[in-house]
Structures are given as C-alpha cells and as structure tokens.
Structure 1
Amino acid sequence: MTKRLSIALCQINPTVGDIPGNRALIRASRAKAQTLGADLAVFPELCLTGYPPEDLVLRDAFLDWVQETVEDLARETADGGPALLVGAPWREDGQRFNAALLLDGGVIAGRALKHHLPNYGVFDEKRVFDIGPLPDPIPFRGAQLGVLVCEDMWFPDVAGHLAEKGADMLVIPNGSPYDVEKDEARLFHARGRVAETNLPLLYVNQICGQDELVFDGASFVVNGDGELRLQAPRWAEDLSLAVLSKGGDGWSVEAGGRAPMPSRWEDIYQAMTLGLRDYVTKNGFPGVVLGLSGGIDSAISAAVAVDALGADKVHCVMMPSPYTSRESLEDAAECARLLGTRLDEVNIGPAMEAFDAMLAPVFAGQAPGITEENIQSRSRGLTLMAISNKLGPMLLTTGNKSEMSVGYATLYGDMCGGYSVLKDVYKTTVFALCRWRNAHKPVGALGPEGAVMPERVITKPPSAELRPDQKDEDSLPPYDELDLILHMMIEEQQGISAIVSKTGLDRAKVERVWTLLQRAEYKRRQAPPGVKITELSFGRERRYPLTNAYKG
C-alpha cells in the first residue's frame, strides 16, 4: 500500500488551439517532474487545447486531434515515469465534456468530467460543453484521487461526493482568470472544501494571457487542517512538488515552498504586462506602436509595453497639433528616453488644415467645436494605423476605463488599435500604477530600473489638448468622484438613488454620469480588446443594449 506520493503542480502557459505546442509543454514538464521524482504531474484545466477554447470545441476535426494527442501522451506513460493528469475536451456517447484525464501505465486510466459549468461573467461553458456526472475517485497507485475541475471546487457537492466515495485528497486543475478580488475567493472556497471533507487539496492554475483574460498561476496546496502548505509564484511559469504521506489520520502534505505574493499594484501591473506580451507574441506581431502624448495614459502604456516586450519592440510617436504644449513635447521625449524606445514626431497640423479646407463648403456657417477636436484625434488615429500597416507593429490603444465608461474618447480616433492595457483600469488606478512603477521594477520586466516617466506627467492636470487650455475636468467630474460613481454603477451595479444616498454626491452629477455611461455603449462595442482587471469588465462580461431608455 502506497504511503507516500510526490505530485508536481505544473503551472504552464498554453496557447489556445496550439495542440502540438501545448503537448510539448506537457512533455517538458513531465521530464522535469521525473527528475524530481514525481509520481504524478498535474496540469491546468483544458491545458492540451488552451483555455478557454470557445467554439473550437464544436469542431469534430479539432476534437479528433485532441483524442489522438491524448492517446499518444497516454502511450508515453508506459515508460514508468510520472503519470499525467491532463485537461482536455472529451467526447463520450455523443456528448462533449470538459475533462481531466489520468494517463498512466500507457493507457487512459481514469477521468473526471466537469459537473458545474460556469455560465456567467466571462464564462459560457454551457454553450459548448455538456454537464458531467458527479465524479467518483480515480484509483492511483494505492491512493484515491478526488478530481474536481475548476468550478467544481466552488460548490460543496462534488467534494462531498468524492469524500463519501473514499477520496484521499482533492486535486483541482484550473483555468481561473485573474481579477483584483479573485485570490481571496479561491483560497476561501478551497478551505471551505477542506473543512467539509478533512482532505488535503491541490490547486493547479495556468499562467497566460488569452485575449481579454489573464491567468495568474498562483497554484497552491492546503493541508487537511486548512493550513497553506505550498504556494507557487504568481505571474510566472513554475513546477512545484507537493509531497504527501499517509498516516493514521489519512493523507497530509509536507511543508513546501512559499512564494511571496505581490502587492495590489504589482498584481495589476503584471496582469497588464502578461496580457499584452502574450497577445502580441502569440498572434505573431513584431512589436507595438503607440501615440506618446506626454500624458499619463500613454506614458504608463508605453512602460507596460517595454516591460512586456523590450524597448526594441516599442515604437512611440508624438503627433503635435497647434494646441500641444511645450511641456507635453518635453514629457513625451523624456518618457521615450527613460524607456529607451524609438520616438518619431509627426505633426498633424497639415492634416487639420486639409480637412478644414475639404469640409469648408459643407460646414459653411458652422462654428468650430467638437467636430474639429475629433478631426485632430482621427488624424492621429489615421497616422498611427498607417505606421502600423506599413511597418507591421500592432497599434496599442491607450484609453482608460474612466474615459471608456463615459465616452470621453473618439471613435476611429484615439480608440483605434488592436489591444488596450488600460481598458479595465480606472484613471485613479492609473495614477497609483505610475507612482508604483516609478519606484519598482516588476519581476521579469524587460524595461529599465528606476523611473519610467517624469514626475510632471503624474502631477499635471490631465488634458486631451484638443483646444486651448483644455482640461479633462472641464468636461468630467474630478476623477476621484467619477471613478467612485462608475465603480458603484458598473462593478456594484447600484442605481442612482443608492449612489446618491451612500456618497452624498449631487444627484444631478450622478445622473449625468449614468447618462454618459449608457450613451457610450455603442463606442465600447467597437473598442479593441483589453486586459480584464476588475470584477466586471466591459466586453463579453458586461453586455447592455445599445438602444436603452432605462434611467437607472
């Protein structure tokens, strides 16, 4: 009877759809686990296909390839090395399941089918998968593995069923995306399942960026008494070994490594960095180009890009107009110098003059206003898209969540681009991130030590500089008030009356923010993707009708 098991937690970075590449990652991790003496290597949810695979699961040819690859991996385990617990979409009796498959001794030795399919927020698994039955424990070398796939850990019934059926431990492959509140929730539910079953729990999460989602790793092991016994690092690929031994009271976990957890600001910054790095590299772009205005949003976007990709893959462009201040020119140049990036200057004055002349007959008798301001923004967007088309880098958009919430952005202008690292980051958080990055270089960052932007970029009043002496607060409430209102409206989904009652803010101000939020929905539908940071991001997670008369 086995009384000791070594289990490798394989925190890998798969790519959706890249079955050969993901198989290579699994093989490499298995080889490393074997050198460490592991009996079993556990991988994240759907690691063979990448997560989430979305409608790829509906393609029979794709699932045929998955099955062939699983069978090949299973045959390789006949060599006497570590067994594999691999996540993959799996067909049985004409149904499609989200499965964790135990590969051992040359065969598929067992499987668990996901029982709770998330169908909220960014998840829509019920669209592509069928509900699996409550899983039974999987025998493994004298022990009984209680395997729960990701969401199954968030409910007591699956763990309770496994414990009742004789499971010795809970093993949980995950594809759990990051948001600022997720870490506490994971550990809370893990400890809840441990308290209910008195079984040790091993939690394995992937580390990657996938479209608008980022996965932070941070795999962990909790003993049967609820004590955290192993903590893998966040924001890095990793293989950690958990050693379990069987005593008179069942299985327990020996103390393992405890990676330090980042601060809130480093977490957010690392999420933006990983999301951009994987989006650019996995989609084959040679780098990024962005407009560097001398303002805070483009400064932090450029810093993230350099930390993610390296200065040689970041092309900055300053596009002055007659309203651009000398300070902005100086600050953009200093940002580029500190980061070590290329900086070109393209004056949009001639484009503004050309549009004025072109449109003069149509606009005769009309006073200049917002239209002319938008023409400036669109001239910049056109310029940046031309550089992207000609030279190849992806255009990085620099707008933040506060602006996108209220429509303080120009469609086909500063909203042009392929990806946005600030899409789910409020302006007040942008200020905090800039101060944090000027004082800290993140682990793994490719950018420089020390400050990445001059202090003036952070302290001067934000301005679009589309007219003389323009300031953001000419059009919007102060950002501390605006962000408070928006967070209550979006993440907390509170109505106008409740916000007024709880904050004491002027009702007319709150009503105006609500109106702006609703009216800007059509812009957000056409915005580029961006990294999910908060509990409720725009895009697939928050879907409101374009035509909407509801008053809040």
Structure 2
Amino acid sequence: MKDGFLRVAAATPKIRVADIDANAEAIISCVNSADKDCALLVFPELCVTGCTCGDLFRQEAFVEKAWEALYRIAEETSDAGCVFIIGLPAYIEGKLLDLAVVIHEGVILGCNVKLTLTEEQSRYFSPYEINGSFYDEHFDDEISFGQPLYFCENDLFSFSVMFDEDLRAPISDDVDAALSGCHIIATLSSRPYTISSDEKTAQLLCAQSRKLHAAYIYANAGFGESTTDLVFAGTNFIFENGRELSRSSAFKEGAIYTDIDLKLLASERLRDDSWRTDFANSSSESDFDFITFPMDLNENLDLIRKVGKNPFAPEDKEEIARRCEQILTIQAMGLVTRMTHINSKKVILGLSGGLDSTLAFLVCARAFDIMGLPKTDIHAVTMPCFGTTSRTKNNSIELAKAYGAKIDEISIKDSVLSHFKDIGHDPENHNVAYENAQARERTQLLMDLGNDEGSFVVGTGDLSELALGWATYNGDHMSMYAVNGSVPKTLIRHIVAYEADRVNDTQPQLASVLRDILATPVSPELLPPTADGTISQKTEDLVGPYELHDFFLYYFVRLGFAPSKIYRLAKVAFAGEYDDATIYKWEENFLKRFISQQFKRSCLPDGPKVGSVDVSPRGDLKLPSDATSKVFLDELKTVLE
C-alpha cells in the first residue's frame, strides 16, 4: 500500500423486498464487478433481505434462507480481492440479531451485531453486547460475532463495523474502536429519506471523522425498499478527517469509490495532543476481539482521489469569503491587542504596491476601525529605489489615499548609494549585497521614523516567504509585529480579492486598485526595471511558483508527508499545468531552502497565527538552524528510480 492510499467503496444494489435470491445475485454482481483495486466495499444494512420486510423477520424459514444466501454470496465472490460487508438477519444463541457480515475470499472474517435498535427494529431483533463465537458447519469454522475489529496484516488497513443508529448513540463504539487502532469505520444504514436527512448524516460523519481522525464509509438502503410508509434514497458517503471525499446521488443505485489516505489519518493522530492522551489512558482494547487477515494491496495505485491545488483555501466561494473574513479579523485583533498593550495609537509600514504590504495595510485599517482610531495615524511609506516601477508606486499611493491614511514617498536611492560608497560596493554589481542593502535601508528608515513619531512598525512578510527564506535577514524579515507571518501567498491573493469584491459597489476605484495589485507580478523590485519600465525581477521565475511551494509547505509541515508522496500528490493536483520535471525541480528547491533558511525563522518577530500551518519558533516549528536537507533530498530522488 504505497503512501498509505487505500481504495474503498460504498454500494447500494437494487433490491427486491424479501426476494433473497435476487438480492444475493445483485450483491454478487456488485462485488465481482467492483474496481479491481478496491480493498473494502460496504453494503447497506439488511441488504440481503431488504430492511422493510416487517414481520417476515419473524419467519424462521425466511431468516434461514438469508443465511443460506450468505453461503452462496461467499462462494461466488471467492475470487474477488476485496473485503466486503453485507447486512442480514440471523439466529445466534436463540436471539434474532441484525448482523453485518465481513467476507474476504470466500471466508467469513466475523459478524458485527447491531446494538442500538429503532422502535420498529426492536419488534424483531435483540441487541447483543457480548463478544462470542459460533461454529458453522458449512464453513467448518468458528465465526466471531459481537463487536470484533479487523486488522489487515498491513497495520494501517484496519476497520471496525457499526450501524447507523449505533453511530448516533450518545456513547458510540466508534470512539473506542478508533482508540484501539482502527482507521476506518464501516457504517451500514437503513435510514429513510426525509427532509434534510442526508445533510444531517453528512454533518455527523464530518464531525466524527474529524474528531477521531478516521475515515467513514457509509452505505444506506435505497431503491427497491418498500415505500409503504417511507422512502429510501440510498445516499452513500465517504468521509476522511472531516472532509467529504465522495457522495452518491440520491435514488441512484451502484457504488461510489475513492482513495482514502491512511497515513494522513495516522499523521493527524500523532499530532493531536488530546488524542495521544486518550490513547494512552484507553483500556478499550479489552472490549474487542481482534481479527487479522492477509491481503495483497496494489503498490502502484493510480489515484482517483481528488487533490486540490490549494490546500490552504477551500474551493467553495462562500467558504473562501468566510475564511478571508476570519483571517482579517484574527490579524486585526492580534494587532489591536498588541497596540493596546504598549499603549500605541499609531502604526507605520512600508507600502510597496505588492500583495503582502497591501494585506498588512488592510489589517491596519481594520484594526483602527475596531479601536475607533483615525486612519490618518496609519503612516504608509513608499520607498522607491533602483527597481521600483511606476505601477507599484502609484498603486501604493492610491491605496493609502482611498483609506484616508497618511502616505509619504521617501526615496532611498541616495542613502543606499552613500552606503555603497561607505562599504566600497560598485553600484553596477547587482549581487546579493546590492539587493539586501535596499531591504535593510527600508527597514532602518521605518524603525527610525517610527521612533521619531512614536509609531509602531508593522511587518509585511508572509508565510510562503518565510518558508523559503525569501527575505533579507534583518531587512524585511524584521518588524515590531508581523501580521502576515502565518498567511501563505496563495491565500493572500484570495483575501485581497475578497476585499476588492467587498468594496466594489461602494468604492469602485479602490476595488480597481486592489485588482491591479493582484495582477502585478510578485517581485521585491530590487533590480532595475526593463527598458519599458516594467518589472524585471519576478520572484516566481527565481524561486518557483508560489502555488507549488505552498502545496509543498502544507504537506511537508502540516502533515509530515515524505517528499516522494508530496511529489505524487502534486502530479495529480497540477496535472496539465506543470510537467513532472518542473514539479521535481521546485520541490527539490523547496526542501533545500526550507531547511537551510531556518536561521531566519529562529528569530521572527511576534505575530498572530491564523491557520494550521505556522513557522513561529515559539510554538509551531522547532527546528535547529544548522540541520541538513540530505535525508529529504535523498528520499525525493527515489521517484526517479
């Protein structure tokens, strides 16, 4: 199972109520036609008989026929490679039980008993909370029943089985199953379709899968069930760690497939402090029988799982807007609290006309609104030098004016040239000293001007730049409070676009300025412009596309994925946009820069954390400044073998 990916499915076959032979045939057909790489396939509750059989469940011949159908299903699917789970009634130890039967290669691995019965089901079935076993002559084997857990010899592939009502109980067994090591919760359901029922189910699966860092495969009864009193839609779901990976359409038979990431789930559990505490204190292992089984899993799975290009931003437009608003509020409140603490009523920042300083300025404006302070005490300074273009300078001036902030233009050319003279540097030598001298001069100017007028220097650098070390040490790297330090470049684009949309009707000129800033190439503007006055130094040409680097950053820092797995995911996410060689080149570059540039992150100014990825040395990222990237570069090279 390469990289932890496992293909799973939930299926709702077309059944006929009480026609056990026809239902068995439908199940057999579904199993034998399943995706060859599918490892686990889940069917609905009581799918062998139909869940709407009523008092037929009290007929001994009917129940025994269902068990006989189980023999046929097991035999006729013995060549199928997947584990699958079906639902049927059965007599065990004098009780009629609602069972989920787990089958693999013609063998019954175990039977899970439904514990929480509906009022209707209590008319026929009994709950049974004791683990046990019974001998079956046909299989010539002892079959476990109760609440067994299932573990493939590959320890990441592990699952428990439960029913819809058990999942909704105040105390549900999925918690103990997860604490006992299960990564997947297979859920059989016969829930009828009513107004909002699917959304309520999705909300439950979302919450449980996020809380337990687990995957849920939910299969529901559907077409063919009796509509005497109820309708069954057969809406199936697959959730992973709070994310919906797949959902079937209502009233549609068949199967849904996706690839779940078991290593992602394991990684989340390792990083969750409360999870580790609960796992250490859990004694739930004694409450379950553990069943192991062998299985050959495809090591070269072609992923069908959707991989988004921007893991920092949701795809839904309304959700993006909500998130942008939250981020701006977090940033602004961080600044408000710091200003209140030091009794400061003024801020100063460098405004370049680029994305980062634009966002920092927007944060300052919002903070001043919260504090009820005049925006004239936001002092924006544009500091043109050798590489500044009229486009960026004019945008910075227009932006500040639109908000009523104080804006000054202070050229640093003479200061930098004087500095070059002092250190004996030839201005025609456009080396790193040429570039960094400008960045440090700007920081010095802001610091000194801030001291002179009693204002507070707000930093503008973002998370993507800090990850790459694309900042001048003690230049733009330093400030008195850094509001953008945990916001990646790709997300900043969304936030600035959100603000442009927000003011579009009331301040169309401001919206136009913000959109032109979005359209401007990312650049530090430290090298002279081209002959026609346009930007010559484009950051993404030098260090690589930020959308790639933010992708690498998320999976490397947030989830700790191996470089080869990140490369594999990037190929899926950016298929058709970047070829394999380009992705490899920039991931290699990312790994080198991320490790080698830690010394800059080891002394970052304070700033608010806004999301799950942050590189503050005081909390989220504790790395030595003198580590080597060799292990990661060597691991990445394995994709070339």
Normalised by the length of structure 1, the TM-score is 0.50
Work out the CA distance in 2 between the residues paired with 1:185 and 1:412: 44
| Aligned counterpart, 1:509 | 586
CA drift of 1:454 comes to 3.3
Aligned residue among 517, 536, 556 for 1:457: 517
CA drift of 1:330 comes to 0.8
Matches within 5 A, 1:402-441: 402-440=464-502
Secondary structure of residue in 1 paired with 2:443: helix
Work out the CA distance in 2 between the residues paired with 1:334 and 1:279: 28
Work out the CA distance in 2 between the residues paired with 1:420 and 1:281: 16
Q: Is the 8 A contact 2:377 2:406 kept in 1?
A: no
1:284 aligns with 2:363: no
| Aligned counterpart, 1:8 | none
Q: Is the 8 A contact 1:268 1:533 kept in 2?
A: yes
Q: Deviations over 1:199-242 (max 9, x none)?
A: xxxxxxxxxxxxxxxxxxxxxxxxxxxxxxxxxxxxxxxxxxxx
Change over 3 Å in CA distance of 1:452–1:290 after alignment to 2? farther
1:373 aligns with 2:440: no
Work out the CA distance in 2 between the residues paired with 1:186 and 1:516: 38
Matches within 5 A, 1:32-181: none
| Aligned counterpart, 2:47 | none
Aligned residue among 414, 417, 424 for 1:353: 417
CA drift of 1:466 comes to 0.2
1:538 aligns with 2:615: yes
Work out the CA distance in 2 between the residues paired with 1:412 and 1:323: 20
Q: Is the 8 A contact 2:321 2:498 kept in 1?
A: no
CA drift of 1:423 comes to 0.4
Q: Deviations over 1:150-194 (max 9, x none)?
A: xxxxx99xxxxxxxxxxxxxxxxxxxxxxxxxxx8799659xxxx
Q: Which amino acid in the other structure matches residue 471 of structure 2? A: A
Q: Which amino acid in the other structure matches residue 475 of structure 1? A: L
Q: Is the 8 A contact 2:346 2:455 kept in 1?
A: yes
Work out the CA distance in 2 between the residues paired with 1:523 and 1:267: 28
Gaps of 5+ in 1: 1-154, 157-183, 191-259, 442-446
Q: Is the 8 A contact 1:339 1:448 kept in 2?
A: no
Work out the CA distance in 1 between the residues paired with 2:456 and 2:340: 11
Aligned residue among 323, 328, 334 for 2:398: 334
Q: Deviations over 1:73-95 (max 9, x none)?
A: xxxxxxxxxxxxxxxxxxxxxxx
Work out the CA distance in 1 between the residues paired with 2:472 and 2:207: 37
Change over 3 Å in CA distance of 1:364–1:290 after alignment to 2? closer
Change over 3 Å in CA distance of 1:187–1:284 after alignment to 2? farther
Change over 3 Å in CA distance of 1:261–1:359 after alignment to 2? closer
Q: Is the 8 A contact 1:335 1:452 kept in 2?
A: no
Change over 3 Å in CA distance of 1:493–1:535 after alignment to 2? same
Change over 3 Å in CA distance of 1:453–1:418 after alignment to 2? farther
CA drift of 1:365 comes to 12
| Aligned counterpart, 2:254 | none
Work out the CA distance in 2 between the residues paired with 1:428 and 1:185: 27
Change over 3 Å in CA distance of 1:423–1:284 after alignment to 2? same
Normalised by the length of structure 2, the TM-score is 0.43
Work out the CA distance in 1 between the residues paired with 2:349 and 2:427: 36
In terms of mean alpha carbon deviation, does 527-536 or 290-299 score higher?
527-536
| Aligned counterpart, 2:595 | 518
CA drift of 1:303 comes to 1.1
Work out the CA distance in 1 between the residues paired with 2:585 and 2:363: 37
Work out the CA distance in 2 between the residues paired with 1:186 and 1:532: 26
Q: Is the 8 A contact 2:468 2:593 kept in 1?
A: yes
Q: Deviations over 1:377-415 (max 9, x none)?
A: 001010000011111111000011000100100111112
Q: Deviations over 1:44-90 (max 9, x none)?
A: xxxxxxxxxxxxxxxxxxxxxxxxxxxxxxxxxxxxxxxxxxxxxxx
Change over 3 Å in CA distance of 1:286–1:547 after alignment to 2? same
| Aligned counterpart, 1:497 | 564
Work out the CA distance in 2 between the residues paired with 1:508 and 1:449: 41
Aligned-pair identity (%) = 26
Q: Deviations over 1:463-494 (max 9, x none)?
A: 11000211111212111111111111111222
CA drift of 1:507 comes to 2.4
Change over 3 Å in CA distance of 1:364–1:400 after alignment to 2? closer
Work out the CA distance in 2 between the residues paired with 1:343 and 1:533: 28
CA RMSD of aligned residues (A): 3.0
CA drift of 1:495 comes to 2.2
Q: Deviations over 1:220-271 (max 9, x none)?
A: xxxxxxxxxxxxxxxxxxxxxxxxxxxxxxxxxxxxxxxx997122111211
Work out the CA distance in 2 between the residues paired with 1:393 and 1:187: 47
Work out the CA distance in 2 between the residues paired with 1:438 and 1:527: 30
| Aligned counterpart, 2:132 | none
CA drift of 1:287 comes to 2.0
| Aligned counterpart, 1:312 | 376
CA drift of 1:366 comes to 9.8
- Number of matched pairs: 297
Q: Which amino acid in the other structure matches residue 370 of structure 1? A: V
Work out the CA distance in 2 between the residues paired with 1:327 and 1:262: 28
Work out the CA distance in 1 between the residues paired with 2:500 and 2:208: 31
Q: Which amino acid in the other structure matches residue 587 of structure 2? A: V
1:389 aligns with 2:468: no
Change over 3 Å in CA distance of 1:435–1:365 after alignment to 2? closer
Aligned residue among 622, 628, 636 for 1:549: 628
